[in-house]
Structure 1
Amino acid sequence: MSNREAPQPSPSRLTPFSTHPLVVAIEPNQPELVALTAASWSQAAGGIRLYFAYVDPQRFTVEEFPDGTVRHAEVDSDSIDDSWRARQEELERSLTGLLASSGVPWEFRYLAGRPDRALTHLARAVDAAGIVVGTRAPGPGARFLEAVEGSVAIRLSHHQHRPVLVVPLSVVDWETPLWR
C-alpha cells in the first residue's frame, strides 16, 4: 500500500467555470434533461466546452490518451462485438440534434470500465471545472442496481476534487404518504 496521500479539495484546486470545460456523463435513452442542463450551464459560463461521455461497463480501458480518449477492448477476449460503434454513433447523432441550436461547443468521448474512474480520468485530461451526472432512471431495477453498484455521483464526490452537479431525473412526492 502506498504512503502517498490523495490530493484533497481546497481553494487552491478550484478550477474556474468560466474558462474550463464540463464533463457530462450520458447514457443511451437517458432523458434529455442532463444534456440540456449542461448546455444551460455552458451558456451561463460564456459558452464553455462540454465533453459528453458514455462509459461502457462491458468494455475495459487498454490505454488512456492525454486528450481524454481511450483505446478499449471487449471484456471477453473470445467475443467480437462491435455493437459499441452503433451505440457511439447513436449517442453522437442524438447530441447533435439536441444541441444544434444551442451554439455550445462540445465533443463526445466513448469510455470504458468503471464510470467513476473513467469520468475522473476524462475530467483530469481536459482540466474540467466539474462533472454533470443524472440520477438513475426510475424503476424497481434502479434501486437494485444502486444497492449493488452504488451511486456514480457519490463515488465521484468522494474520489476526486471537482464539484459534481447531479441532475434529478425522478423525484419523490413528499406530499404522498409512503405507505399508500
Structure 2
Amino acid sequence: MTPFAGHPVVVGVVPGQPELVALTAVDWARAAGAEVFFAFVDTARYTVEERPDGSVRHAPIDPDSVDDAWNDTDAVLRAQLSATLRGSAVPWDFRYLAGRPDRALTHLARTVDAALIVVGTRAHGGGARMREFFEGSVAVHLAHHQHRPVLTVPLQVVDWKEIRAPWAT
C-alpha cells in the first residue's frame, strides 16, 4: 500500500463531466498534502510509447486515418480543469492517455506512485450504459485489477424509494 500523505492522486476525467469529480480529488489531495494528476483515456487511440513522467505518445487505431481531433479534446479538458480549479492551491497536471481506461490509469498511478485513483460514475441512460453492462465499469475493473484504493464519485443521486422492481406494476 502506498501511504496517502504526500503521494499523488490520479483522476480519470472525460469531457463534460461534472466538476464534482475534480473537486473531490483536489479536496482529497489537499488533505493528504499531495498533487493531482488528471487523465483522459482515448479508447480510439493506442499507446506507442510510455514515458517516465506518465505521459504517452499515441496513435489512432485506424492506421489510414489522420485523426487530430484528440488535440481538441485535450484543449477542452485542460480549459475545463483550469476553470474548475481556478484559485486552488493544490498542484495539478493533465495527461492525455490512450487504450483501455483501467490499464492506462493503473499505469499512470504506478508511474507517479499515486496513493489513490478517483473516477466518477456514469450518468444514467444513454448508449454508454449498454457498453458498461457488457464491458464492466472502469471503477470495477480498477478495483479488481490493481492494488490502489479506488474512490468512485457518484454523479447522480438515486432515490431508492422511487425505484421499483422490474416486476412491480
User: Do both share a fold (TM > 0.5)?
Assistant: yes
What residue identity is the alignment partner of 2:11? Answer: V
CA root-mean-square deviation: 1.2
Secondary structure of 2:127's aligned partner: helix
TM-score w.r.t. structure 1 length?
A: 0.89
Matched, 1:89 2:96: no
Q: Among the aligned pairs, what percent are the same residue?
A: 63
Match of residue 117, structure 1, among 103, 117, 141: 103
- Shift in Å, 1:171: 3.1
What is the CA deviation profile of residues 116-174 of structure 1, one whole-angstrom value per residue up to 9, with x for unaligned ones? 00000000100000100000122142321211221111110111100000000113211
Maintained 8 Å contact 1:24/1:38: yes
- Shift in Å, 1:177: 4.1
Maintained 8 Å contact 1:68/1:125: yes
Whole-Å Cα distance in 2 between the matches of residues 167 and 85 of structure 1? 27
Cα 1:177–1:51 shift into 2, 3 Å: closer
Residue segments in structure 2 that go unaligned for 5+ positions in a row: none
Secondary structure of 1:63's aligned partner: strand
Where does residue 27 of structure 1 map in the other structure?
14
What residue identity is the alignment partner of 1:153? Answer: A
Secondary structure of 1:107's aligned partner: strand
Secondary structure of 1:110's aligned partner: strand
Secondary structure of 2:39's aligned partner: strand
Within 5 Å, give how 1:126-141 maps onto structure 2.
126-141=112-127
Residue segments in structure 1 that go unaligned for 5+ positions in a row: 1-13
What is the CA deviation profile of residues 13-40 of structure 1, one whole-angstrom value per residue up to 9, with x for unaligned ones? x111111000000001111110010011
Runs of 4+ aligned structure 1 residues displaced above 4 Å come to none
Where does residue 4 of structure 1 map in the other structure?
none
Whole-Å Cα distance in 1 between the matches of residues 80 and 39 of structure 2? 13
Within 5 Å, give how 1:132-171 maps onto structure 2.
132-171=118-157
Match of residue 40, structure 1, among 6, 20, 27: 27
Whole-Å Cα distance in 2 between the matches of residues 154 and 87 of structure 1? 25
Cα 1:139–1:22 shift into 2, 3 Å: same
Matched, 1:67 2:53: yes
Whole-Å Cα distance in 2 between the matches of residues 143 and 75 of structure 1? 23
